[in-house]
Amino acid sequence: MQRITILGATGSIGVSTLDVLARHPDKYSVYALSAHSRIDELAAQCEVFRPQRAVVADAEGAARLAALLRARGVHTEVEYGEVALRAIASSPDTDTVMAAIVGAAGLGPAMAAAAAGKKVLLANKEALVMSGQLFMDAVANNKATLLPIDSEHNAIFQCLPAHYGRSPEAAGVEKILLTASGGPFLNRAVETLGDVTPEQACKHPNWSMGRKISVDSATMMNKGLEVIEAHWLFGAPAERIEVVIHPQSVIHSMVSYNDGSVLAELGNPDMRTPIAHALAYPERIASGVAQLDLTRIGTLQFYQPDFERFPCLALAFDALRAGGTAPAVLNAANEIAVQAFLDRQIGFRDIDRVVARAMDDVSNTGAVSIDDVLAQDSLARESAARTVARLAR
């Protein structure tokens, strides 16, 4: 019986994780759940799964959650704040931590789980984008188990040999091929992208995701962050990572070998598949996802990405090659820019402008500690906010 903590339980990954857990009550129990501000949803989850602990963002939310749980006869202990998040992620009473808090906010608790030697199911790519070397060192030094949840990285993990050891050359790996759907604007005229609305950007053709990650998919910044994540997960330099646009989202990623072989992982676009794989690894459990029927799909298409259409992808490759704190700056500025777009302060084509300006403004330094990373993150947010103010409509 694995005891599970879910950081970000009310988001799409958290909900999908709970769906998989509910199918296997003989294998898994829920130790703790966290959410930022969706108190009603978290209360409903606590009523069903009866975790020992629940964590929310602030005291007001905690008081409201506690009142809802008392009214329902649920005795879950309610806490709030960053310290509490790190506590449930590192508790000796939990075995596995699903790290699914979106953005930089997920870095601290994910790092706490790694430092405590947990089995970490990483859906928060920002933990590696912001502090890749520090995070991987924490995993190695504390004998934690790190399993990727992003469908692309989970696919790559499944296509690599068991003895891989983060060494492409030793395993005969020529390239890691990250597939991307291309988002909702793959075939839209580039000159009209300035007119894109938040509603259009959040309407992904294949995946059901939160608003921030949906915008990142539309700009392909999400794929850029995944490129950086793949570098840290699999020890692959930028020249061994390639992005391939695959609109059907059936092939989730591929690995190309030096003997000419290409191994691919296929499946219906449903996050319960990689979640179930990571929960049960190295075994397999049912995820609730329908079996793939290739005869119904018929055709699979592949294209090279157009960097004029997707400048954010090019910026991410630039940040990876630059190293140091450049990826943290990229990520922080993007978070500010995407929120400004969602708030209708700037246009869709302003997102990459905000990010590029921050990368020019904020000096690239080495990341010796999390404090170093967070300091650069703060400077990037300040730069991005100034650019948003200049561009604001």
Residue ranges of the domains in the chain?
Answer: 2-148, 150-268+301-322, 323-393
Is residue 220 very low, low, confident or very high in pLDDT (cuts 50, 70, 90)? Answer: very high
Above pLDDT 70, what percent of the chain? 99
Q: What is the largest CA-CA distance in the chain?
A: 63
* Domain 2-148 class, CATH top level: alpha beta
Q: Which CATH architecture has domain 323-393?
A: Orthogonal Bundle (1.10)
Range name among 121-125, 304-308, 365-369, 377-381 with the lowest pLDDT average:
365-369
**C-alpha to C-alpha distance for 265 and 361, rounded to whole angstroms:** 40
**Count of Cβ atoms closer than 10 Å to residue 171 Cβ:** 17
Query: Which pLDDT score, from 0 to 100, does residue 208 have?
Result: 67
Q: Among 150, 152, 157, which Cα is nearest to 127's? A: 150
pTM of the prediction? 0.91
- Considering only CA atoms, give the Rg of the chain: 20
**C-alpha to C-alpha distance for 125 and 106, rounded to whole angstroms:** 9
Q: Tell me the C-alpha to C-alpha distance, in Å, between residue 89 and each of 62, 112, 123, 225, 333.
A: 18, 6, 14, 24, 27
Q: What is the mean pLDDT of the chain?
A: 95
Average pLDDT over residues 201-228: 88
Task: Let me know if the fold of 2-148 is the same as that of 323-393.
Answer: no
Check whether 367 has a pLDDT greater than 90.
Answer: no
Q: Among 121, 91, 93, which Cα is nearest to 8's? A: 121
